[in-house]
Amino acid sequence: MAMTRLAAALALAAPLLLGAAPRADDWHDPALSPDRRAALVLAAMTREEKLAMVIGDFASDQVGKPDAHPPAAAREGSAGYVPGVPRLGIPPLWEADAAMGVATQPTARTSRPAVALPSTLATIASWDEGVARAGGAMIGGEARRYGFNVLLAGGINLTREPRNGRNFEYGGEDPLLAGRMVGAQIAGIQSNHIVSTVKHYVLNAQQTDQFTLDARIDPAALRQSDLLAFQIAIERGRPGAVMCAYNIVNGAYACENAPLLRDVLKARWGYPGWVMSDWGAVHSTVASANAGLDQESAATFDAQPYFGAPLAAAIDAGQVPAARLDDMVRRILRAMFANGLFDHPVAIAPIDTAADTAVSQDAAERGAVLLRNARATLPLRAAALRRIVVIGGHADAGVLSGGGSSQVHPRGGSAVKGLAPTGWPGPVIYLPSSPLAELRRAMPGVTIDYLDGRDPAAAARAAARADAAIVFATQWTAESQDTSLTLPDAQNALIDAVARAAPRSVVVLETGGAVLMPWAERVDAILQAWYPGAGGGAAIARLLTGAVNPSGHLPITLPRDDRAGRCRPFGGAPTPGARFTVDYCEGAAVGYKAFDRDGIAPLYPFGHGLSYTRFAFAAPRIARDARGLHATTVIRNTGARTGAAVAQLYVERVGGGWEAPRRLAGWARRTLAPGARQAATIAIDPRLLATFDTAGGQWVIAPGRYRFRIGASSRDLGPPVDIVLPATRFGA
């Protein structure tokens, strides 16, 4: 048997070794399908080689394990490494953590400088799939040039818990918006012939006790919310891998959850790629393998290695079918072929920092949301101002970024040194793009002073002497810890003091998600800049001065208090480390849907975003053709300057029966000159008109009347247009 395998391997490798043209049945032939090529390679592999492909190593030194060192062939400072099979030409998997760029692990001996995108939530706020794809292409290109062929990107988990420390990495609160935008980012990453993941599958909605949290939710509600977001992202981005989460879902760990992995992801959706675990998310051999986990990532993070030798023993004992190991490896190989890892091997090359920073800055400019602009305070006009005071937020040095495994390290390190925590999930990093310096550059005739904001009384005195005061308010959030919705370090008191003293007051928010704003109606303008990335300082200055017209819209609801829109208390296990249950009682009514259902007024609604011009939207015309149902509207710029509008289409089922009064059904973003108008057609995904029947495994559109409205947010909607739809059932 061994000689037969060796002969087969040599026959497959001969064209590569001798430079001959590939045969019709040769896996080197790029004309063959990824499935066929994977099958041919799989047939030549030994069992030992297969077992080595389904278990990975950490590619860096590991905190708390001084004797655990990365393999020599790994990319030091990165997240993961899976050895290849040199005799068959199978490349290793070099894996880098990512959300906003190529990350470096905190235990690395030297950091890997890379260009940071704005937070994922900021990209989602652009409502522009082109922005998401361009950002993905940029970070995927940097990953490739650093020698990585797997990027652990594609965070999409819905914002069920506004305190979640990783919300800045994720896709907001609506499944359609999150799915389309993250899918576009994944497609951009993979355009570089590398693999992107989509993660964390599923219901990874808080950091507190996430390893022991049992997320309980009605299966139909899950299909209509978080799983729908994943499904749309997978359809549009075609990620090579899905990363399963730490938490438990309805009684079973996410990485050994057969209903989610085997039944929904692979059987129902026909997902052809592989399922990798999160780092430390595996708890079994037999249950995980049979449920659909294909690869154990960085086994030193788990209580013990569960694949490798234990998997071989389980196969020998008949507990795991031998065919299951073949399926695991085939899926990995298939994704590698589909994304060009064989035909376009990665190679170290220089990074074009200036070009990549321009991509990041563009995303920051399009994703920033102008929340308030009383008295037309913005844009700041140099001709009308003599003195401005900028206060707080280390705006003299740089812009804040989020912490944890996704942390991108800029060249030269943080612009602000020594901020705690310096260890995991830190260090706290300010990217060296100073809003103060950029404002001074943009307004050379205006005196612009800076105060650090530690003394509210001094800040108020400076604000009273200036024509306008700009307070930069920041909140650092990170993986492994949840946060408060209250700004830290007495910043609310600082903003209040400045607002009372300044002739004009502006607040710029650099936060990972929602924060409470008790001062919102006392300040003149609020710009939500999120974590704005490598070009963030320039982006903020251009937005404040009007060189760029704000066009972002909220991908989350901003509440008035920390209880609004939530049906459960927040917390962790009564005993640390104990398994505990969180009832996701809101079901599919995430975010704005719960606010609408319960009649709660938000501070700023989902979809909200102001501009320096004005737009009008015509009532939609609903039509059906061979492509399906779609809505057409006309967008007009009724103001005095060019700007981008986002026409948001919402649908209601007249008579109720849904989780909430209305759902986002689609949108169109258009840039228009003053006085211009443009028609926009919005395709309507039929799943947004349906509920999920778990017994029948189908989507069901109930017969009856459906009401469509176009508007600028979920609470700013135009006149209704009703249509009657027949009963319809369609597959999952």
Q: Is the pLDDT of residue 12 over 90?
A: no
Q: Which single residue is written with the structure tokens 């003149």?
A: 524
- Quick one: pLDDT band at residue 480, thresholds 50, 70, 90? very high
281: tokens are 């998310």
- Quick one: pLDDT band at residue 2, thresholds 50, 70, 90? very low
Report DSSP state, residue 534. T
d(CA 324, CA 81): 22
Domain boundaries, given as residue ranges, for the chain:
363-545, 613-731
CA-nearest of 388, 485, 486, 482 to 435 is: 388
- Cβ proximity of 380 and 443 under 8 Å: yes
Q: Is the pLDDT of residue 16 over 70?
A: no
Specify the fold of 613-731. Answer: Immunoglobulin-like (2.60.40)
Burial of 728 (0-12, 13-18, 19+ CB in 10 A): middle
Q: Is the pLDDT of residue 73 over 70?
A: yes
The one-letter code for the residue type at 304 is Q
d(CA 447, CA 460): 17
- Segment 221-247 shows an average pLDDT of 98
* 3-class SS string, 98-119: CCCCCCCCCCCCCCCECCCCCC
Please give the helix or strand (H or E) that residue 12 lies within, else none: helix 2-18
Within its chain, how far is the Cα of 106 from the centroid?
A: 21
Tens-place pLDDT, residues 708-732? 999 999 999 999 999 999 999 999 7
The backbone torsions φ and ψ at residue 394, rounded to the nearest 5 degrees and listed phi first, read 50, 35
- Quick one: pLDDT band at residue 402, thresholds 50, 70, 90? very high
- Which of 307-343 are b and which e, b meaning 16 or more Cβ less than 10 Å from the residue's Cβ? bbebbbebbeeeebeeeebbbbbbbbbbbbbbbbbbe
Better-predicted residue by pLDDT, 18 or 558: 558
Q: pLDDT value at position 76?
A: 87
Please give the helix or strand (H or E) that residue 211 lies within, else none: none
290: tokens are 């049979």
Q: pLDDT value at position 635?
A: 98
Tens-place pLDDT, residues 593-630? 999 999 999 999 999 999 999 999 999 999 998 889 99
Q: Is the pLDDT of residue 106 over 90?
A: no
Mean pLDDT over all residues of the chain? 95
- Which of 86-100 are b and which e, b meaning 16 or more Cβ less than 10 Å from the residue's Cβ? eebbbbbbbbbbbbb
- Cβ proximity of 151 and 445 under 8 Å: no
Report DSSP state, residue 268. I
CA 692, 695, 700, 702 dihedral sign is: negative
Spell out the alpha helix ranges (H) of 80-210.
Answer: 120-125, 129-145, 175-190
Q: Is 134 helix (H, G, I), strand (E, B) or coil?
A: helix
d(CA 112, CA 102): 8
Please tell me the pTM assigned to this model.
0.96
Radius of gyration of the chain (CA): 26
Please give the helix or strand (H or E) that residue 252 lies within, else none: strand 252-253
Q: Is the pLDDT of residue 171 over 90?
A: yes
- Quick one: pLDDT band at residue 25, thresholds 50, 70, 90? low
Q: Is the pLDDT of residue 217 over 50?
A: yes
Q: Is the pLDDT of residue 81 over 60?
A: yes
- Quick one: pLDDT band at residue 3, thresholds 50, 70, 90? very low
Tens-place pLDDT, residues 329-358? 999 999 999 999 999 999 999 999 999 999
Specify the fold of 363-545. Answer: Rossmann fold (3.40.50)
Q: Is 688 helix (H, G, I), strand (E, B) or coil?
A: helix
Tens-place pLDDT, residues 638-650? 999 999 999 999 9
Within its chain, how far is the Cα of 174 from the centroid?
A: 12
Q: Please give the share of the chain, as a percent, with pLDDT higher than 90.
A: 90
Provide the edge-to-edge strand list for the sheet that holds 80-82: 80-82, 93-97, 150-152, 195-201, 241-244, 274-277
Better-predicted residue by pLDDT, 665 or 7: 665
542: tokens are 């251009």
CA-nearest of 144, 181, 502, 160 to 351 is: 144
357: tokens are 């920073």
Please give the helix or strand (H or E) that residue 480 lies within, else none: none
- Cβ proximity of 35 and 25 under 8 Å: no
Q: pLDDT value at position 23?
A: 61
Q: pLDDT value at position 19?
A: 47
Burial of 4 (0-12, 13-18, 19+ CB in 10 A): exposed
Report DSSP state, residue 411. T
- Segment 514-534 shows an average pLDDT of 98
592: tokens are 């704005």
Q: Examine residue 421 and say whether the peptide bond preceding it is cis (omega within 30 degrees of 0).
A: yes
Tens-place pLDDT, residues 403-457? 999 999 999 999 999 999 999 999 999 999 999 999 999 999 999 999 999 999 9
245: tokens are 């989460």
Q: What angle do CA 116, 529, 453 make, to 5 degrees?
A: 105
Q: pLDDT value at position 564?
A: 82
